[in-house]
Structures are given as C-alpha cells and as structure tokens.
Structure 1
C-alpha cells in the first residue's frame, strides 16, 4: 500500500507534534508535587501518579514516532512512484 502525499504529511505532522508536546508535559508531571511522596520534585519516592503518567508519555512517544516514520516512508514511496 502506498500512502498519498497528503496522508504522509499528516503522519509526519503527528510525529512532530508528539515530540513537541509530550516532553513538555513530562516536565510538568515531574515538577508536580503529586508525583513525589515528599511533595518536592525529585526528592523521595515516586508515586503512582508519576509512574502512570510516565507510561502514558512513553507510549505516546512510541506511537507518535511510529506514525512519523510511516509518514516519511509513505512520502518517499509516493515520490518514487511519481518519478517512475
């Protein structure tokens, strides 16, 4: 299957958007007092609040990266077909 250039660009955009948004969200979760037993970022044990959000962020980054890679591959395949 070959994606159209439009869909390929959309998937690349999803990948870029994921890497722009989620790391910033990760910093916000890290700095949140609910993420730490002591209530101070980076001090004491992590709470389930931090672990759940870390898992969500990691999964989103993997999904976004996969979408971006598929978009790049789709773009290149569409380009090869248009040249042929």
Structure 2
C-alpha cells in the first residue's frame, strides 16, 4: 500500500513539474513578446524624433528659399 502512495505522490509531483514547466515556457514567450514590443516602441520614438527634426529643417530651408527668391526678385526688379 505504501508503495502505491509513493508512486502516486511521485506521479503527482511529475504532473506538477510538467505544469510548472509549461507555465514557465508560456511566461518566457510572453516576456520575449513584451521585450520585442519595447524595442519597437524605442525605435518608433527615435524615428519620430528624427522625423520632427527633418520637418524643422525642411521648414527652415523652405523659409530660406523664399527669402532668396524674394531677394532675387528685388534684384531683378531694380535692374529693370
């Protein structure tokens, strides 16, 4: 009788270990997904920052181009 109880306890411990292993694998998968999500978010912030900087530079260049065109028109008007 004691042997059956010991075998049953070992079987139960085996099942518990299997469930814990499955839970560990699932949690590891979730953690890796979160890690990838954080990495993607980090890159999205970097790209957004670069995009804003490029937009500021473009507006500055457009303003400079307008000023140069205005100066060119003034020079051409004064020559006429």
Q: TM-score, normalised by structure 1?
A: 0.46
Higher helix share: 2
Normalising to structure 2: TM-score of the pair?
Answer: 0.48
Q: Say which structure, 1 or 2, has more relative contact order (CA 8 Å, 6+ apart).
A: 1
